[in-house]
Amino acid sequence: MGLCRILRYAEHMTDWAVPPLKNDPQPTVPGAVQPPALPRPLDGNRAALLLLLTQNVVTLLLASWAKLPLGLSLGLSFVATGLLAFLLLRPALRRLTQDSRWRTPPAILTALGALTLGVIASRGILLFVQSVAPQSLGQINQFQTLGWDRYALLVAGGLLIPFAEEVAFRGLLLRGYESARGPLFAALASSLLFACAHGVPAQIAAILPIAWVLARAAQHSGSFWTGVVIHTLNNFFSLLLAVLLSGSKVMVQAQKELENMKALPLGFGLAGLLVAAACMFVATLWLRPRADIPAPVGGSVLSGSLVVLLVLILVVIAGQVLPLGALLGR
C-alpha cells in the first residue's frame, strides 16, 4: 500500500500517467453505481498549456508570417486547438462531458448579474491603473481588422475562443483543482492563471474581476455553461462595438487619446478601486459554491505542464514590462 501511495503522488507531480496496480484494493459497495470520475488537476494544467501555446503560436504565425487577417487567424487557431485537444486530451474531455456541470443548463440571470458586477469592477480597476500608470493602457490589445474579416473576428473572438478558454480554465482546470484542494483554492488559482495568461499587466488587472466571477458563477450555478454565457457576452459585445466603430472618427480619436493617455487624479483612481472592491465583495458573498461540490481528496496540483505554463506566462509578462533589448542587455 505504501508503494501505491508513492506512485499516485508521482502521477500528480509529473505528466506521466501511472497504470493502476492490480493488487491495489479499491473499496466498493456491491451493487452501488460509481459516480463518473471528475477532471484531475493534471487535466487542467495540460489543457491550459495546450490552449496558451496553440492559440498564440498559430495566431502569430498566421497573422504575422502568412499575413492572414486577424479574424481568420484566430478562427484557424481555434480549429488547431480543437484538433490537438481531441488527439492529446481525449480522456480528460471525456471526464468533462460526463461531469454534472457539463450536463446542467446555464443560469441566465446568474450570468447576467455576475457579468454586470465583473464589468463594473474591471472598469473601476482600469480607472485606478490610469491614475497610477496611464502609459500601460496603451499595451492592451486593440483588435482591428477590415472588410469581411470583421465578421470572422466577431465569430472567432466573440464565440469560439471564449468557449475554448472556458473548457480549459473553468471546465478542466477549475474542476480539477476543486477535486484536489476545494472550491476556494480552485477559484483563486484558476482566476489568477487565466488573467496572467493574457500577458499584458493592465489587461491582467482588468481581467481578474471577470475571471473571478466566471469561476464563482460556475461553482454557484453548478453549470459549466453559465461561464460560457458570461464569457461570450463579454467578448462578443466588446468586439461588436469595436467592429461597428472601426474606421470611424470616434475610433480614430479614441486611439489617439489612448496613445497620449494622461494620468487621472489619484482620487478618481481610488474611487474606481473602491467601486471594484465593493462589486467583488458583493459577487463573492452572492456567488457561493453549491453545497453538493464533492469534498477535496487532496493531492498536488503541481505538474510539469503547470511549471512550463508559469514560465511562459512570466516570460510574456516580462517582455511587456521590459523591452526585449533591455532583457538581452542591448
List C-alpha distances in Å: 45 to 24, 49, 220, 247: 27, 6, 23, 40
DSSP three-state, residue 89: coil
Closest listed residue to residue 109, CA positions, set 121, 100, 117: 117
Handedness of CA 127, 131, 133, 139 (dihedral sign): positive
For the chain, count helices (H), then strands (E). Answer: 16, 0
Place of cell 508513492: 6
**Position 284: which residue type?**
T
Phi-psi region of 222 (alpha: psi -120 to 50; beta: other; left: phi over 0): left
Handedness of CA 114, 117, 120, 122 (dihedral sign): negative
List C-alpha distances in Å: 72 to 75, 77, 218: 5, 9, 30
Residue 94 grid cell: 471525456
CA dihedral angle for residue 97, residue 158, residue 165, residue 113, rounded to 10 degrees: -80
Give φ, ψ of 187 to 5 degrees: -65, -45
Compute the distance between CA of residue 35 and CA of residue 31 in angstroms, rounded to an integer: 13
Per-residue pLDDT tens listing for the chain (330 residues): 443 444 344 334 334 333 343 333 445 555 555 567 889 999 999 999 999 999 999 999 998 898 899 899 999 999 999 999 999 999 999 999 999 999 999 999 999 999 999 999 999 999 999 888 877 766 666 666 667 888 899 999 999 999 999 999 999 999 999 999 999 999 999 999 999 999 888 899 999 999 999 999 999 999 999 999 999 999 999 998 887 776 656 555 656 655 566 778 899 899 999 999 999 999 999 999 998 888 888 888 999 999 999 999 998 888 777 764 444 444
Give the count of beta carbons closer than 10 Å to the beta carbon of residue 268: 14
Give φ, ψ of 144 to 5 degrees: -125, 135
Cβ(129)–Cβ(191) below 8 Å: no
